[in-house]
Amino acid sequence: MAAKKAERALVEQWRDILAVHAHTVCELDRELHPHGLGASDFEVLDVLAEGGAPDGGCAYRVQELADRVHLSQSALSRLVARLEKDGLVTRGMCSEDRRGVRVALTDAGRARHAEVLPVQRAVLARMLGERVA
């Protein structure tokens, strides 16, 4: 009986985490939409703007970026293609491995990130602030 209660509590905790994530992503999408971005779009720009790629640079290999933003490589490739079409990122071959592709912010991408950063952070504070404290 105690094991069943513990298991039930664990499942409820998991579902609470999923609900917070879903509500936060929906709110981010709603607030970022007027700026031409979705939550995942912004997350890619944010990771690129932070720099700190594993090799110490500011451009990420697609697989490294996929690991950071928790998207499949194919979903990320489609997202990066949209961002590139909008002039926010560039893609180029890796100098150390010609099979790899690196993604970096453009000046327009940096500007859009800076413009939208306060909006994203305000949503995170509103949606997660009391949960983190």
Give percent of the chain with pLDDT exceeding 90.
69
CA distance 46 to 29: 15
Kindly report the pTM of this predicted structure.
Answer: 0.85
Tell me the H-state helices in the chain: 2-32, 39-50, 62-69, 73-85, 107-132
Q: CATH number, domain at 11?
A: 1.10.10.10
How many domains does the chain contain in total?
1
Interval 22-33 mean pLDDT: 97
Q: How far apart are CA 94 and CA 54, in angstroms?
A: 13
Per-residue pLDDT tens digits for 92-101: 876 666 567 8
Task: Calculate the average pLDDT of the chain.
Answer: 89
Share of the chain above pLDDT 70, in %: 86
Here the tokens at position 51 are: 């720099």
Residue 66 is part of which domain span?
Answer: 2-132
The arithmetic mean of pLDDT across residues 103-111, rounded, is 94
Closest C-alpha to 102, from 82, 80, 87:
80
pLDDT score of 87 more than 80: yes
